[in-house]
């Protein structure tokens, strides 16, 4: 750190090694938050002008300088480095260097404690918007694949044992509906965290009549986070809620990856993936391995680790504690890895090639036993009796035509009535609201 820390009252005893420990990776992580911090700083400046702490000229100069800084960050001209303790100090140093006293006034009525909260919250909000968009793209792709192969037979498994005839449509529509629901969950999380902590300062408010509502509106928050101490107490916990939504998405990706890693084996042989999703072996010349699918499956672990880490860090007494800085790294790491994984999925879904003959072959006569028993029950035989009767006949069973059996699975959500129109409507509604 070459700059003096902003809390230096003159002649502070600063030990380089201890400062490095305190900062940790903070400066590097603040690079992800810096533009949000700048945006919130502009709102704070406008708020200070409103209550007469800054005059019109000062506030205009500060806003212009902050916008300039934002552009330099966006273009990569300004990069945070360990000259500064953190992003907040960097912004203040920049403004002071440019504008002198106006820069030295910018921190009036705020603390780095509410500054980091508001920047993080704006960042989280953007990441949730990304998650909604990706979840809807994934749902869209699965829905298209479901419609294209709505009646294509595929064995249905329970316990990974052959159970009943099913379809590619049912398998794909399961993921489509799941990702529509994940988009809904993610938006409700967005609503939950879309509350403005700026103006709570160090966790106790300030002796100024800050217009918190106007600042909150300017930053697009739904509401003010009223209690100053609660604002600090929510740090890390809101991050956990965000990761919870991401985790739901990655759990489904993991399930899909698992299915694919089975279905692409020679033993199943239902699905082929284009070469770009596979890699070769360094020793076994015969191999193409589904590494992409496997790393997708592993990406949930990053989020699970991060959630555990956050839960451990936020076990704290009321108010700000420096421990909270340790919430930044897991949440940013999990979001980067998780969203990058999800972004691969639409292409993967679009690229699956089905071996329709292989899937048809894998549907054996015994798999019609459930249909047969229900048929008998519909004719008036008590179901338990029908079940036992069909059970005795399994060995001798010859299958119904597969397609007929599927067509008869007419309960809503079954293979014969996928309800794709319902899912389409829900997906479109989610897109319109987005």
Which residues make up the interface to ligand ARG (CB under 6 A)? 26, 86, 112-113, 116, 320, 322, 324-325, 328
Q: Closer to ligand ARG at the Cβ: 114 or 177?
A: 114
Catalytic residue among 281, 299, 318, 405: 281
Q: Closer to ligand ARG at the Cβ: 40 or 273?
A: 40
Quote the least distance from Cβ 13 to ligand ARG, whole Å. 17
159 is catalytic: yes
3-state secondary structure of 271: strand
Contact (Cβ atoms closer than 8 angstroms) between residue 166 and residue 78: no
Beta bridge partners of 167: 153
Contact (Cβ atoms closer than 8 angstroms) between residue 201 and residue 114: yes
Q: Closer to ligand ARG at the Cβ: 202 or 214?
A: 202
**Cα(252)–Cα(267) distance, rounded to whole angstroms?**
23
3-state secondary structure of 373: helix
Q: Closer to ligand ARG at the Cβ: 30 or 140?
A: 30
Q: Closer to ligand ARG at the Cβ: 218 or 239?
A: 239
Contact (Cβ atoms closer than 8 angstroms) between residue 151 and residue 169: yes
CA-to-CA dists, residue 232 to 134, 150, 244, 322, angstroms:
30, 51, 20, 11
Quote the least distance from Cβ 316 to ligand ARG, whole Å. 12
What values do phi and psi take at 155, rounded to 5? Answer: -65, 145
Contact (Cβ atoms closer than 8 angstroms) between residue 292 and residue 344: yes
Q: Closer to ligand ARG at the Cβ: 26 or 58?
A: 26
Quote the least distance from Cβ 35 to ligand ARG, whole Å. 16
Contact (Cβ atoms closer than 8 angstroms) between residue 416 and residue 409: yes
| DSSP 8-state code for residue 318 | S
332: left (phi over 0), alpha (psi -120 to 50) or beta: alpha
Catalytic residue among 159, 178, 247, 351: 159
Quote the least distance from Cβ 218 to ligand ARG, whole Å. 22
Quote the least distance from Cβ 178 to ligand ARG, whole Å. 35
Which residues fall within 8 angstroms of residue 321, CB to CB, at 6 or more apart? none
Contact (Cβ atoms closer than 8 angstroms) between residue 246 and residue 131: yes
Cβ neighbours around 53 below 10 Å, total? 17
247 is catalytic: no
Quote the least distance from Cβ 87 to ligand ARG, whole Å. 8
**Cα(300)–Cα(337) distance, rounded to whole angstroms?**
9
Q: Closer to ligand ARG at the Cβ: 112 or 190?
A: 112
Beta bridge partners of 157: 162
**Cα(307)–Cα(10) distance, rounded to whole angstroms?**
40
3-state secondary structure of 273: coil
Query: Annotated catalytic sites, by residue?
Result: 159, 281
């Amino acid at each position: 750190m070459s700059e003096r820390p902003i809390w230096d009252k003159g002649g502070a005893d600063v030990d380089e090694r201890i400062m490095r420990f305190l900062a940790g990776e903070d400066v590097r992580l603040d690079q992800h938050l810096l533009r949000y911090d700048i945006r919130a700083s502009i709102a704070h400046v406008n708020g200070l002008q409103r209550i007469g702490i800054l005059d019109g000229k000062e506030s205009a100069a500060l806003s212009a300088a902050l916008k300039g800084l934002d552009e330099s960050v966006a273009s990569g001209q300004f990069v945070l480095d360990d000259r500064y303790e953190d992003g907040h100090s960097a912004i203040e140093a920049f403004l002071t260097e440019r504008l002198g006293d106006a820069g030295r006034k910018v921190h009036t009525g705020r603390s780095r404690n509410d500054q980091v909260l508001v920047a993080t919250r704006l960042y989280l909000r953007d990441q949730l918007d990304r998650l909604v968009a990706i979840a809807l793209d994934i749902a869209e792709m699965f829905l298209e694949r479901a419609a294209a192969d709505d009646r294509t037979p595929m064995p249905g498994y329970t316990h990974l044992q052959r159970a009943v005839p099913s379809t590619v449509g049912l398998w794909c529509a399961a993921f489509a509906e799941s990702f529509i629901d994940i988009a809904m969950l993610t938006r409700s999380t967005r609503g939950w965290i879309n509350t403005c902590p700026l103006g709570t300062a160090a966790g106790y408010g300030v002796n100024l009549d800050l217009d918190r509502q106007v600042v909150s509106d300017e930053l697009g928050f739904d509401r003010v986070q009223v209690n100053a101490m609660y604002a600090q107490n929510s740090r890390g916990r809101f991050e956990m809620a965000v990761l919870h939504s991401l985790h739901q998405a990655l759990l489904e990706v993991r399930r899909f990856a698992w299915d694919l890693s089975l279905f692409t084996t020679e033993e199943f042989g239902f699905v082929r993936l284009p070469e770009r999703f596979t890699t070769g072996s360094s020793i076994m010349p015969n191999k193409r391995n589904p590494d992409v699918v496997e790393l997708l499956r592993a990406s949930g672990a990053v989020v699970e680790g991060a959630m555990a880490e956050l839960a451990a860090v936020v076990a704290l007494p009321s108010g700000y504690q420096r421990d909270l800085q340790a919430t930044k790294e897991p949440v940013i790491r999990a979001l980067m890895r998780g969203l990058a994984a999800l972004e691969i999925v639409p292409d993967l879904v679009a690229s699956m090639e089905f071996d329709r003959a292989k899937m048809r072959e894998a549907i054996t006569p015994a798999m019609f036993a459930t249909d047969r028993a229900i048929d008998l029950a519909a004719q008036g035989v008590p179901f338990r009796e029908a079940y036992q009767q069909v059970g005795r006949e399994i060995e001798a069973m010859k299958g119904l035509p597969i397609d007929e059996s599927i067509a008869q699975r007419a309960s809503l959500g079954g293979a014969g009535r996928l309800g794709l129109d319902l899912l389409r409507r829900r997906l479109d509604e989610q897109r319109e609201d987005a």
